[in-house]
Structure 1
Amino acid sequence: MKAVRTVAMLALCVLNADVPLNAADAAAVFPDGAKLELLWSDGEFTEGVASSPQGDIYFSDIAGKTPGRILKFDPKTKTTTVHCADSKKSNGLTFDLQGRLIACCGAAGGIQSVCEVLDSGELKPLVSEFEGKRLNAPNDLDIHPRGWIYFSDPRYGGPEPIEIDHLSVYRFDPRTGDVVRVTRDITKPNGVALSPDASTLYVAETDNGFPEVPGAGSGGGKVHMTLNAFPVDRHGNLGERRILKDFGKETGVDGLTVDSEGRIFAAVRAESRFGIGVYDSTGRELAFLKTPEVPTNCGFGRGDDGSTLYITAGKSLYRIPTESRGWFLTGQTVP
């Protein structure tokens, strides 16, 4: 596998002067003088940051005319290698309770499934249908302590027929194979992340107004760009939606993650101000990190690297030190 070495360091602006923020809140997120480091920039459209139990950083590169790939960055050697040369249009990535890499694989030539990525780099589909109909294009995911996989299933492109009448978030139980639709009140879900205590599921609604989806309320140029919170009960069902932030007509959040204190780190793609927005559980903005390229996702490292935030943006992978630590499942399920 061909390795690509780190190439540069870039200065950053942690706060945006146009938005009034509490300096103490911002200082609690990003240390003074922190710099954004460019790690890799040979991609086409990077996505889906995930830190392995061993501390390696995996991310997707979604190519336009090829199947895409999954890459692995080694924080110790600062090298990037190809882990999966044909990722079937993988997007969001995460590691489950057993340490397996799980990927959302989309449309436009992908396999429209949630898959396990084997050590060999091959993909093993786990769920491809809902009620006998093909999934639209699984996009992002997170794992509940009980082992359930919550994943979003929007559609942003691709010639494949749209079989399901809604763009939803689903809960998949790998032990039973059961797939349950858990949202209908947002029109196009994108990034998803659970709070550290798994009592809240955060969902980005990133509806750009097309394509038309029968029954979904998506299409016709109607734009819905919100960051939402749903309470999660002991059975994994979601309660009433709470809108944390409405981005209006500008593009909203793509991927997101949470730190150990429950703060939300979100990849904001707004045309007037794009970067990583940091919010508390009520949606109050605590800090904003401007990025050189429009971001798609973010996630923390592990172990000694647990305070480092990794960011996919444009065709690149970046990182920056923080005053936070990421939150990860311990490998033990709750009763």
Structure 2
Amino acid sequence: GGPNGNAYDSQGRLYTCEFRQRRVTRTSKNGKVEILAARFQGKRLNAPNDIVVRRDGQVYFTDPAFGNQEDTRELDFFGVYHITPKGDLELAAKWKTRPNGVTLSPNGRVLYVADSDARCIRAYDLDRAGAVSNERVVIDQIPGVPDGIRTDEKGNLYVAAKTVCIYSPEAKLLGTIELSETPSNVSFGDGDLESLFITARTSVYRVRMGVKGASQN
């Protein structure tokens, strides 16, 4: 299905954005695959890109369109979507620019979304029911095109763009991780969650950070 963004929930189920099939699926440990989202108001999604799952089962994903995906669009907007624990699909935010990477603050109260066209990071407040409010730009003038994003346990935000840029919760640039190729996504891993894995065009990099990634589950 052309898998792109992936995320696990607290039950170990894998959520996948399948951009070629234009849908979001969930795969259980036994291999059963469920389609969670494929259409909004009767029209096919553009090309689901990245996804995150909150501890309580709220799911958020981005739906941009890149390249030849533009030619087959049925929706006249790009979207950030919310799937409730009951399986209802809601449009959380309608965009004119293309949303890309998505992640949560460590406490699950803020949703961050990378805006690839405006080269910024937008944020939304989340309530207990998972509803979004208070859209705002929290980081702008990012060097390069922001793609995948993640937070660590301190609330710092890691942005894959021209390089990997690390920002404090107050949007101060703390540093960068320079690579020989352009990064596309970032994720914390290893048993202690202190390794940052970085995907790029031809390689996957691993950097020990000395700080744990934010655990969403």
What TM-score do the two structures reach when normalised by structure 2? 0.91
Tell me how far apart the structure 1 counterparts of residues 206 and 191 of structure 2 sit (CA, whole Å): 15
Shift of 1:233: 1.9
Asked if 1:263 corresponds to 2:156, the answer is yes
TM-superposed CA distance for 1:235, in Å, is 2.5
Distance change in 2, residues 1:318/1:120 (3 Å): farther
Out of 67, 71, 76, the residue aligned to residue 157 of structure 1 is 67
User: Are positions 1:275 and 2:163 aligned together?
Assistant: yes
The answer to whether structure 1 residue 142 and structure 2 residue 52 are counterparts is yes
Q: Which amino acid aligns with 1:147?
A: G
Whichever of the two has the greater Rg, that structure is 1
* Structure 1 residue 94 corresponds to structure 2 residue 7: yes
Note if contact 1:206-1:226 (Cα within 8 Å) is conserved in structure 2: yes
Report Cα offsets for 1:51-87 as digits up to 9, x if no partner. Answer: xxxxxxxxxxxxxxxxxxxxxxxxxxxxxxxxxxxxx
The answer to whether the 8 Å contact 1:105/1:111 transfers is: yes
Residues 1:167 and 2:78 aligned together: yes
Q: Distance in 2 between matches of 1:193 and 1:100?
A: 18
| 3-state secondary structure, aligned to 1:239 | strand
How far, CA to CA, are the matches of 1:184 and 1:90 in structure 2?
23
Structure 2 residue 135 is matched with structure 1 residue 241:
yes
Distance 1:239 1:326 in 2: 25
1:315 to 171, 178, 202: 202
Decide whether the 8 Å contact of 2:104 with 2:111 is kept in 1: yes
Residue identity in the other structure for 1:287? G
Question: What amino acid sits opposite 2:2 in the alignment?
Answer: K
Q: CA RMSD in A?
A: 1.9
| Structure 1 residue 119: Cα displacement | 5.3
| Counterparts in 2 of 1:184 and 1:300: CA distance versus 1, 3 Å | same
Unaligned runs of 5+ in 1: 1-87, 208-223, 269-273, 331-335
| C-alpha separation in 2, matches of 1:239 and 1:197 | 16
Residues 186, 200 of structure 1: CA spacing in aligned structure 2 closer, same or farther, 3 A cutoff? farther
- Match in the other structure for 1:78: none
Which residue is equivalent to 1:202? 112
Deviation at 1:132, TM superposition (A): 1.4
Structure 1 residue identity aligned to 2:184: T
SS of the equivalent of 2:67 reads coil
- Structure scoring higher RCO (CA < 8 A, sep ≥ 6) equals 1
CA deviation string 1:190-242 (max 9, x = no partner): 001010111111110112xxxxxxxxxxxxxxxx2211121112232222222
Instruction: Give the partner amino acid of 1:114.
Output: V
Letter in 1 for 2:3: S
Shift of 1:112: 0.6
Shift of 1:291: 1.2
Displacement after TM superposition at 1:264 (Å): 0.5
Decide whether the 8 Å contact of 1:193 with 1:257 is kept in 2: yes
Distance 1:121 1:90, change over 3 A: farther
Taking the aligned partners of 1:289 and 1:142, their CA distance within structure 2 comes to 23
- What is the aligned length? 216
Distance 1:195 1:89 in 2: 28
**CA spacing shift, 1:196–1:118, aligned 2, 3 Å:** same
Quick one: distance in 2 between partners of 1:291 and 1:91? 21
> Relative to structure 1, is the Cα distance of residues 135 and 329 closer, same or farther in structure 2, using a 3 angstrom cutoff?
same
Give the distance between the partners of 1:155 and 1:121, measured in 2 at CA.
29
- Select 1:104's aligned residue among 8, 13, 17: 17
Q: In the TM superposition, what is the alpha-carbon distance from 1:120 to its structure 2 partner?
A: 7.4
Of 154, 161, 185, which aligns to 1:297? 185
Question: Which of residues 202, 211, 231 in structure 1 aligns to 2:125?
Answer: 231
Using the alignment, how far apart are the partners of 1:320 and 1:121 within structure 2? 31
Deviations 1:294-328 (A, max 9, x none): 00101111424x21110001121110111210122
* Contact 2:102 2:111 (C-alpha < 8 Å) held by counterparts: yes
Is contact 2:150–2:157 with CA below 8 Å preserved after alignment? yes
CA distance in structure 1 between the partners assigned to 2:74 and 2:111 by the alignment: 26
Q: What TM-score do you get using the length of structure 1 for normalisation?
A: 0.61
**Residues of 2 paired with 1:251 and 1:277: CA distance?**
10
Structure 1 or 2: larger strand share? Answer: 2
